[in-house]
Structure 1
Amino acid sequence: ESHALLSHFREGGGFVSGSTPPPSTAGPNFKPNDLDIYAFDFDEDRTLDLLKNSFQFATVHKSDNPYQDIAGIARTHWLKKGPHVINLMVMTSGNAAAAIFQFHSTIVMNYISGWGVFCAYPELTMSGKSIANPSALASERERKRAIYCFDKYGERGIDHRGTLSDHKAWSSHACGVDPSCPTTLRALHDSHSLFIPFASVDLRTA
């Protein structure tokens, strides 16, 4: 089943983000409560068909524009099978991975695509540490949602702080230079990120 999903991601450009990738990158050891899957709008119907027919999930709720402050997310489908939940985030355009850099903290700036596992802040993530994303705290609505997420990840063993300097190991870091600093200019696949490629196999026949 995992091969079918990864093959699907390769064809449509989707990926898994949220709570799932951190344990996959040898970071905090916890079991996610749900799965956040991102897909482009042109691949929305095909992705829903896969989740319903191949994985037996059923749509419980659909919400248009649930994340008004996150550019590119048009709507979300909430699917469930027993205790398992999938949040299908439908992206309108551009690079779907760009959405993860608009979320509350570095601990969720990771994804699993059809090609491998990506982690934007490996030093922080793999040491079980996280910092807030200043751009995600602009409004009262965003701050309330972020505080809920900070508490949730704190219960999972994440050492979350407001700024990088609040972590002892980075108390005297060079702001704007250190790759773990949010003011440092970064690119999606620069030398400071971590990408673990999957084996080069045909996932449809493996």
Structure 2
Amino acid sequence: MQLDNGNGFIGILSAELQSNILEEMPLPDLITFAKTRRQNQDGIAYYMAMRRTKLFMRFVDDTNALIELLDRTGTVISGSSALSLVQPKRRAIVVRDLDVYTTEKFEDEVLKHFVEKERYEKKLEVPRKTEYESTAITKIYKLQNGQKQVDVIVSDWSCTLAPILEFHSTAVMNYITARSIVCLYPRWTAANKSMINPRLYLQNKTHMRTVYVLMKYRKRGFDLSADALYFGDHLCEGEKNTGGKDGYCPHVIRSTVDDEVISWNFGPTKMLGNTTITCQDMPIMVWCLGGQECVEGDKEITLSFALVSA
């Protein structure tokens, strides 16, 4: 990859040095850099496409067929795979399996693709993924092809994103669609900060398994906290005369197409006014992390919730 005539000095550097620079940049910085010049946009597009292809090639032989499956069914890839594309390449976590999220409507089609086309074997079917304790997950199929492992996670919701909003912490609230990589909390994730989902303690979901998973991300370098203010000040939902609310206040109602969400689009996109829809047929989700008050005098507890709005 060569960013010919790139922005500022980078265009005169060798391809190797350019790659070294890009590999130190998290997704939000790559998106910002891509906006500086058309040549940079093209270079980052190639770089991100190659990262996605190399990720997929670890688990499937036909990457284009996988992308077509995601597009046709509204299925997404999340977990460590999506997080690795948000992180700088040089500091990305090691991906050991592929977490594929689909709905009951497309459950059979997704399984058929991996079993018949990619020669995976169905090793285990479990009723839910206990480390996430998600009410939106009905079952999980554990598939294996030699050393390659894929988990197909099935939701009874109409949108595959529902389980992602119930994940243990914001670090893993990212997903890959057929056309994009999406990060719901980019400011925190890029800085290796992760807020523990308040639903874990509001709905008594905390047990040894969730503690183990949280500690796993702690070992991966993430700073974890159940208090959003631990990561710095934000415009709290309870503060007056702020001129707006900060999407990093856990009491704020968020959506998968709001201004706090960032996405890198691999292909053609659909617009809703000035808003980019990250998948042609992906329903819009609305959620609130909830939890304890942020500032003194604010509401004591806001319940966590998620719903399909459109």
Fold-level similarity (TM above 0.5): yes
Q: Which has the larger radius of gyration?
A: 2
1:93 counterpart SS class: coil
Aligned to 1:47: 110
Q: Cα offset for 1:71? A: 2.7
CA contact (8 A) 1:117 1:195 kept: yes
Task: Say which of 151, 154, 174 aligns to 2:235.
Answer: 174
Q: Cα offset for 1:102? A: 0.9
Query: Counterpart amino acid of 2:216?
Result: K
In the alignment, the residues of structure 2 paired with residue 181 and residue 6 of structure 1 have an alpha-carbon distance, to the nearest angstrom, of 34
1:78-157 → structure 2 map (5 Å cutoff) = 78-138=142-202, 140-157=204-221
In the alignment, the residues of structure 2 paired with residue 184 and residue 144 of structure 1 have an alpha-carbon distance, to the nearest angstrom, of 29
Task: Say which of 156, 178, 184 aligns to 2:252.
Answer: 184
Q: Cα offset for 1:11? A: 0.5
Aligned to 1:204: none
Task: Say which of 250, 264, 284 aligns to 1:196.
Answer: 264
In the alignment, the residues of structure 2 paired with residue 192 and residue 153 of structure 1 have an alpha-carbon distance, to the nearest angstrom, of 23
Q: Cα offset for 1:179? A: 1.7
2:126 counterpart SS class: strand
CA contact (8 A) 1:104 1:137 kept: no
TM-score by length of 1: 0.87
Aligned to 1:162: 226
CA contact (8 A) 2:199 2:205 kept: no
- Per-residue CA shift, 1:27-74, capped at 9, x if unaligned? 551112221111111211111111112222211100124559523321
Q: Cα offset for 1:198? A: 1.1
In the alignment, the residues of structure 2 paired with residue 159 and residue 153 of structure 1 have an alpha-carbon distance, to the nearest angstrom, of 8
Q: Cα offset for 1:84? A: 2.4
Structure 1: 5+ residue runs without aligned partners? 202-206
Aligned to 2:307: none
Q: Structure 1 residues 136 and 3, CA, compared in 2 at 3 Å: closer, same or farther?
A: farther
- Per-residue CA shift, 1:153-188, capped at 9, x if unaligned? 122222222222222xx1x32323322232222111
The two structures, once aligned, show a CA RMSD in angstroms of 2.1
1:96 counterpart SS class: coil
Structure 2: 5+ residue runs without aligned partners? 1-61, 238-244, 270-310
